[in-house]
Structure 1
Amino acid sequence: MEKISNLDKKLDLIDKLFSLAFKLGVVVGGTVLLFYCWKIGYFPQDVSVGDGLLFILLAIAFGGVYLFFVVCLTSLGLSLRPVWHGLQKLFLLLLKGYERVSGRTASYTPFTIEKGGFELFIFAIFGLFFIWGFSFSDIKVLSTLVLCVWGCALLWSTYQQNSREIDLLERSDNFTDEESKRLKRLVDFQPFLLGVILVVPLLIGGVSGKLLDGAMRLANVRADAAVVHVKEPYVKYAAEFGVKGLQSNFGSDYSKFEKTSILFNGFGKNIVIEVEGKDGRVALVVPSDHAYIVQR
């Protein structure tokens, strides 16, 4: 009976973990999708029940990709613990030199990065690949990515340190009112820390646009090179922005637009395309039944 009871507890724990992962994937993935829609300036319209299910599936997929990205950056930051502490020692030496020269006392609170386990090195390797890939296309991203890696590691370390302090306070038989307030503040602050860790790569990573675009390409929502045949009257609307199409084999009502980027396609009644106009790239919203996409 004891073995059955233990098995039930393990199954219940697994069920709760899967439920939490599903909810977290939907929330994070949905946030990422909405962030992408805000980025391109378009939100899906007339979404059907089937489109809603597709949205949930895409949200889970994007949430998984993004969470993997955050875990890899955080693991890389924890693996670089000796580097961060070495830089901090160097900074403290420079700070002491400044205090001697200026005669002023500078205020600085040292940070501590937690020591990660061996399993983190696997994710850290993927984190290096991420940094190399994003920095290869834009070297200016490197500095913000390094800051992002350090920030994620510092926030996760703070979360771990707070968890240990919470555990000690909860085990205490009798603690003062000040300790009780401290415990409440720490417990309330923990979810905030996790939330900040999730948004740090989007805010200071310098790669949010590329990460979102890459995730959309994997889901076939976005394409960078396609030929689109657009039906009237949307050809005339495009002409108002200085965008002229070529003759199309689909008929006289259609015009062909080459070197077109598909910004959004997959659910909702419209697609969003980006074509070259006289004043640069122009984004156009076209109903799905008025456009045929030919991807190369």
Structure 2
Amino acid sequence: MLLARNPDYAVMEVSDEFLRLKIEQECMREDMKNNVKKVKIDSSSELHLIDFSAYSEDFIKDFESHLSSICVGKLGKKLSLIKLRLREFLYSKDDNTRSGAIAELFIAYYLKNAGYKQEYLFFNLEEGSIKKGFDGVFSMKKKSYLMESKSTLPSTKNKSHRSKINEAYTDLKNYVEGRSKKGKNNPWRNAYNHASHCDVKTSQSIKKKLDKLADKFDERKYIKVRLVNIIPCSTIFGLTKDACPNQVAEDDYDYIKNLEANSKVILCIKSRNINDFISYLEN
């Protein structure tokens, strides 16, 4: 299901939450489990603390096994061509856009490893541009999620996961409720166009729901974020394995709990410097 049960929006019944968590556990590689801490905050909120600050040989090997499907879907391309396109894209952008793109790659990699299905292409349908709307749509069995990612550079002062999660959540809320100041694009239409690409292989039920929501958005019949399943994400760059721990203070749990949504999965990632990732692409 894309939204909470509602005669206008429900696609199908909510999947068993235990089954979803079981799939995550079974799909995730053993070495990644060691770099992930999950906190179940309440029945509709969970927090994933993810450490990507070390590019181990196993990490690189597994990341590369997913990279083509993340970027171009079922089409499949040689790894060297995917890395070339990524390099050329990142070379042409400023550091803020670079950090955002790399963060989205890591998020897609993590969620695919955890058993979620990616319902969009990382490479935008308009060559060289960034997506107009939600950063991504993911599904797990019968539930679908809207993903929004925010990131910080090493030079950012007073950086925190809470501030970035708040930015990501605010963007999702404003997009869904028709209050975004970032242009007049229909985010549901953009999501539908990605899901309709033949190499994404999105189910008909999800595509029909996205199309219906896009039509309602055009008619200015906006929905509330409390009906939606969401994945707000924060990535902090420039942290080594031994740097400050990847933490969200316990007094932030109430803040997460009080974010309106049908259900929410919060991702907080710490990563190496963006130039380290670009160096990887150049090798």
TM-score by length of structure 1 reads: 0.21
Larger Rg computed on CA atoms: 1
Larger RCO (CA within 8 A; separation ≥ 6): 2
